[in-house]
Structure 1
């Protein structure tokens, strides 16, 4: 889809959402992550499968990204999609977007060794590069939209309730 087609597509979606009820605006998502062997698992969402593993230093086979890397990949892809969509909507020339992500997990948090050490990332950096002729003002506008409208960025930034349950099966 080129920028013109994406802009038209986005305008159509915005029009549909503007007339929809809150319930009609929800985009339900669900999937299953199944252990294959050891720390290796397969995540299935719809017809798409993704392998997840741990590095060998943590007991995995190192054949796929680990869960934290998958989370970072989701963040990077969501930033990229949000930027592409808003660039098209606002007629801003920004293409070939690359999002370089970095973060660190402290193993002391995972092993519950200190209440002062977080279990997850302390911070994540996302460095976005792109090609195009966007002005400084347009880049600032695009960054503002990404900061306000990127759904996975919101997942990283905003606390939410996760209902975790566990049950034994035969």
Structure 2
């Protein structure tokens, strides 16, 4: 598929660079390993600040610097100074699958006019507050709808949709249980 679009840039994506990355990973599987890590600190009330200072790709540390702020709305005891963790979870999910839709369309040579993903989920606060062991503290389901417009056919967009659901890291992370290993230190 990449061979047919050499030297192409579709929807802003450099398909030659993508092809080179795929070839490098096919030649050496260790180049496919990527480790992300973040540090979150409490900054009062329900507010927290997360620092992203880099990641490791194929054994090489790549420095970067970003800050993500989270807070709760007034009604949930926060100061409403930033999105809450549930909104950030959905934003991370949407952003990850967005990459899949754009990359999938680009690899097929489809020029996009727009892509919009709307996601929602309903929580029962009785679970979070520990008021009922019968109520889950998280989502039982998350629903999302993708609105995509471009010069592709319905069949091409459906194929992209199926591929995103099969290959997106955050689709995988949210749709299946993953092991979470927690520890605590005092001080």
TM-score, normalised to structure 1, is: 0.91
1:27-42 to structure 2, matched below 5 A, reads 27-42=34-49
Please state how far the C-alpha of 1:94 moved relative to its aligned partner.
Answer: 3.0
Please state how far the C-alpha of 1:3 moved relative to its aligned partner.
Answer: 3.0
Distance 1:95 1:13, change over 3 A: farther
Cα distance per residue 1:67-112 (max 9 Å; x no partner): 1111100000001011111111122333421111111111011022
Q: Given that residues 39 and 52 in structure 2 are in contact (C-alpha distance below 8 angstroms), is that contact kept between their aligned partners in structure 1?
A: yes
Cα distance per residue 1:113-138 (max 9 Å; x no partner): 33332211121111111221211110
Structure 2 match to 1:26: 33
Pick which of 139-148 and 87-96 moved more. 87-96
- Secondary structure of 1:37's aligned partner: coil
Cα distance per residue 1:34-69 (max 9 Å; x no partner): 111111011111200011001111111011011111
Mapped pair 1:155 → 2:173: yes
Structure in which a larger fraction of residues adopt strand:
2
Distance 1:64 1:85, change over 3 A: same
Structure 2 match to 1:53: 71
TM-score, normalised to structure 2, is: 0.83
Structure 2 match to 1:69: 87
1:1-170 to structure 2, matched below 5 A, reads 2-3=10-11, 5-21=13-29, 23-46=30-53, 47-169=65-187
Q: Given that residues 97 and 128 in structure 1 are in contact (C-alpha distance below 8 angstroms), is that contact kept between their aligned partners in structure 2?
A: yes
Tell me how many residue pairs correspond in the alignment. Answer: 168
CA RMSD of the aligned region, Å? 1.6
Q: Distance in 2 between matches of 1:84 and 1:145?
A: 12
Q: Given that residues 100 and 126 in structure 1 are in contact (C-alpha distance below 8 angstroms), is that contact kept between their aligned partners in structure 2?
A: yes
